[in-house]
Structure 1
Amino acid sequence: MLKTVRVPEPLAPLFEQAQSYVSAYFADRSFEPERARIEIAGQRYVLVRAGALSVEFHELMQRLYGSVDESHAVAHGLLFDLAHAMGMADAGTFAGRMEVTDPIARMSAGPVHFAYAGWAFVDISAESKPSPNDDFYLLYDHPYSFESDSWLAAGKSSPHAVCVMNSGYSSGWCEHAFGVPLVAAEILCRAKGDDTCRFIMASPSRIEERIRAYVSDHPEHAGRVAGYEVESFLTKRTDAQLLRSNLELQRREQLGRELNARLVEALPGGVVEVGRDGAIRSANAEAMRILGLSYDVLTQRVISDFESETIFEDGRPATVEDYPVAKALATGEAQAAVTLGVRRPGKPEVSWAVYRAVAMRDPATQEVTGAVVTLLDITDRKRFEDKLRQTQKLESLGVLAGGIAHDFNNLLVTILGNATFAKSICGDDPRLTPLLEEIEIGAQRAAELTRQMLDYSGEGKMKVSPLDLPGAVREMARLLAALIPKQVELHYQFQEGLPPVDVDATQIRQVLMNLITNAAESLGERAGRVVIGIEQRFVTESELFGCQHDGCKPGNFVVLSVKDDGDGMSEQTRGKVFDPFFTTKFQGRGLGMAAVLGIVRGHHGAIRIDSALGVGTEVRLFLPAREAAVTPPTSSVRGTVLVVDDDVGVLGVARRVLSAHGYRVLTAGNGVEGVACFERNRAEVRLVLMDMTMPQMNGVDALHRIRQLDPAVPVLLSSGYGASAAVHSSQFTGILVKPYGFAELLAAVQRSLGEAPFER
């Protein structure tokens, strides 16, 4: 009984013999993956995934050739030729092994082999008339064609018939069996929406005639017999070869353009191409970053994200005519390197780059058609040079100030000592006593000035003791209340539970007086506010890079910030702030910020000033935090929670709520800081509260780094993106969805730590 093929009744006996033979043939098989061998009846076979020779092969050709019609023609030609040759070879092998000579008998093993090899099930119509001459006609269906199945499994359809390998293999087998040239065309195909895959096989000279006759006999299929193609084995038209050659040339040119584009993107500097009118045609990612550009999808143009001011190194504004690209377009000549800075509106920072430009010309007319600009970002180098120059200047001034103060103190000893001794000799002489007292007062003021000079040089005497910094700030604010204008409001943002800092209390009070007074006076007669903040957190190397300090290393610092919304400072003024005796006021008060810098350096701390005209000023002091001993949590201290979030407001809420309920809180402003803080304090941290979306390193990447340090520590995800949080929820201990109140925050922390709810 036939199971692997369906044929007209007269042909059944021959096909039953073929089925018996092929069945025994495939039963004799062995799989030896250790030798990479699959053998069937002593013949080595290879397994090929169906999709790779059907729908995926067509998609690959589409990507390579671009044109749908040409890629389809190339794919069909290659697959047909390959399958036709395989069919002819297999037909010869089986005819020899079966020792048959009758053409029908020689053909019979083909459909059965087709079924066992996984290509298709063959259903031969009774209308077929196979004969070893030009009258050969075979009508057959492939209801389970591997090619149609692959297209449908991929969720794709085609306007063309797709079972080209089935056409090629079956026509190749029959061509060998009957000894006449044959070709098969698929007239119906499931991949283009038909009920079955139907083929007509005939002589190449009569295939079109056979298809027309079928349509005439079966008018119900007339509208569906479309999109078929008749392939001929190993013969291609000359014009097709030429077209393919042209397409290959185009493909190579496209690959060359793509390679150039990738190389431009990989360059360490920016590259911009502009047209004759100066409009930007293209720019690589580095140029986009440096110049603040983006690609507008609607206009399909590169646009600027902000208006900017361009300056020379000496601070002079640079006009468009000064740009190297403008000169290259105007003169047609290559332009030498020029260093220019770009400043965004309201931002004090300047991005520096070295610009070069070369004109592009039309090869035929030699007219200038545009220009290519290269730019190399040197902002970090400029900052380092400025910092090095400022450091060297301050060091030189410090040495000078220390030497002057030392010698001046010796002179003051003589003046003050003799004045006081003279007072003791002359008694209450009304003529001399007032004069000696004025000498004494002047000498004491000079001594105060020399003390400030020694503070600036870092050689002042220090008496270190624990100091409650928030208390000292409030005390200094009360003492300065009479000097601060009434329209100025003082606001405090203090992290709760801060430990004392080991400092010289007198020197730190002098620093506080300077900073608060400067902030208040920057407002002039206007109403405004001064915000004083104190927190303890981990400070990274990148944050310290923008500070004035003497060799501070990343670590835990107590950060004191004084921020005002006054007039702010220009970049030039900000560069002189730490110069001795520099002031923007009508009358200065001694060394001012120079003394503040010396005191901070004497405490092995750092100081940073951020300011812009019309925006205000923020001064931040970084004082080394006390190294706290690691102790197990007690009933009053419930353990340490690390909160990682780039929003200052979120950090403040979490710190206040958790500190008020017995937790010690560490904070970090992004994933990099969070990982570094955890690594430093991992023996204490019981829980990490992690934001998802942060600069430098997001929450998921930070989680992976923390898991490498401690696989068991609970990490609670805090996110305002519901879908994003859900995707990564399995990687975290739990999710705390923003916005949340203090009750939700406490409950989530307690659940993550397995604690009982906190009783208020």
Structure 2
Amino acid sequence: MDVFDTDQASKAAPASEDRYRLLVEAVTDYAIYMLDPQGRVMSWNRGAQRFKGYSDTEIIGQHFSRFYTDEDRASGLPARALRIAASEGRFEQEGWRVRKDGTLMWAHVVINPIRSDDGTLIGYAKIMRDLTERRAAQEALRQTEDRYRLLVEAVTDYAIYMLDPQGRVTSWNRGAQRFKGYSDTEIIGQHFSRFYTDEDRASGLPARALRIAASEGRFEQEGWRVRKDGTLMWAHVVIDPIRGDHGELVGFAKITRDITERRNAQLELEETRARFIQAQKMEAIGQLTGGVAHDFNNLLAVVLGNLSLARKRLPPDRKLKQLIENSIQAAERGATLTKRMLAFARRQELTTGPLDVPELVRGMADLLQRSIGPNIQVGTRFPLQLPLASADPNQLELALLNLAVNARDAMPQGGTITIAAQEERVGTSEIAGLAPGRYVQLSVTDTGEGMDERTLAQAVEPFFTTKGVGKGTGLGLSMVHGFAEQSGGRLLLRSTKGQGTTAELWLPVAEASGTRGGEPDPDVARSAAALRPMTVLVVDDDPLVLMNTSAMLEDLGHEVMEASSGEQALRILRRSGTIDLVITDQMMPGMTGLQLLEAIRSEHPRLPVILASGFSELPDSALTGLVRLSKPFEQAELMRALVMSLEPEGQVLPFRSKQG
């Protein structure tokens, strides 16, 4: 190298050192300074001055331990840091450091040894960065995370937990433990599919739920979930994906709520609403049925009355008489159907009295056997002593016949029907719809096909039938149901598919006084011959019924006056000279039969009145001492009502108008 090159190199070295010094001194985001082997400050850059607060003239020559807290100095940390740096080539740490003004900062410190070419330690390079703000942010984040963790862990009304991407449980809060029954030590690390039913697992629902959550951002469902003890709960489940800073899937957040009670309450509400709607429907059908039955009763009254009169006037023609008898039987079958309709509507006229149930069953044994056929055996089972039931014997016979026919239809291949009775005592709220007291439980049990739950629930609905087209009206059980409730009792059905059916008819025990049902009332046993010819006022808005009733009365030898309304009847009473008895329909527009009765009682209190109606929904106070004639009626029943309307002495006191 020539002289020129040597001189240039000697000048370049100091220039390079100046550049490094200027570079270090210009840095303000890092404190970069040099210590001698004993730890005294030898250089000081702007970053050090900015962080520590000392100028170079204040700090150069001072020991670097003054930047440490009293606790760190007492523990010998400054000397240990230099020793580690010298021996291991590096010392790195984060910790509290003290500024000139005594405040603290959180610093990241790196100390490296500085050695000469021959390896001699000539000092240390110390680089420090103030991380106070970052640490404060991290601490705030940590505190926030802790608060969220405490919040989640404290929640008991929701199961909130995390899953890893494969579906294994990674966290577990108190709500999860409360709902599922697992502690965190039992469940963390386990797959969440164990909460699903066998059917859901078999269908792949757990994996599908995670897949939907990951692809669509959310999965939500209600369904059955399994607790640790194996019991089921109805749960509302939401699964959300958890993603990292770069969108990668790191797990799932799962929130579950036990809504079993809410679901049960909702189902109960819906069931109550359905029952209410059904009750409204039944009431509407009952109103319709009652109205139809009323009109049908009027038509049947005309048909039966006219046929009865025609039968009395027939010439000696056997074939013609047979035609009339067939017509009467057909009309009577129509009357039976009407009674079923009124029984369903709870409007049929009942003649309730003490009734010996075993005696009634024995009395209709032949009828029952003929009705169900020879391939079905009928057996009875009654106790030696059974109290009398309070019921209408005719309606009870009809109810028993319906139950027996239903049992027969349930056994197309034959079987056994058992009719039994026993006394039962009912306490408060033991059986819905039954008041506490004593009852006669009359049951009809078959060995037939039985009913499933759905059929059993609909069995007493009107027009519901499982029989083929044309093989049933669907009114049989509804009639029995209506009759039982109107009698103060209840119809209960018990059935299992394939194991037969038992129909229980609960009837109140009769009071001790009174005659047995079916026995004639002594007052009714009077001979019709005792009746002298009377003047009878007949009131009915139906002209056919009016004409028919008048014809039957005239055939019995009585004089008849007719009125088509209550108002017209009162006008006739006020202007007529003599009227011995009034027969009035109940259901009339403008003025009902009871309203007419009240008007008659106020003006003519001793005038006998017969109320003709097929309805039983009449106030008891108005029926005291009142003779009633159930529609449809024949001449014999009309004669019986006339006899019952007589005074105890057997005399009919004529009514004289005030003008007469």
| TM-score, L = length of structure 1 | 0.36
| TM-score, L = length of structure 2 | 0.40
Larger radius of gyration: 2
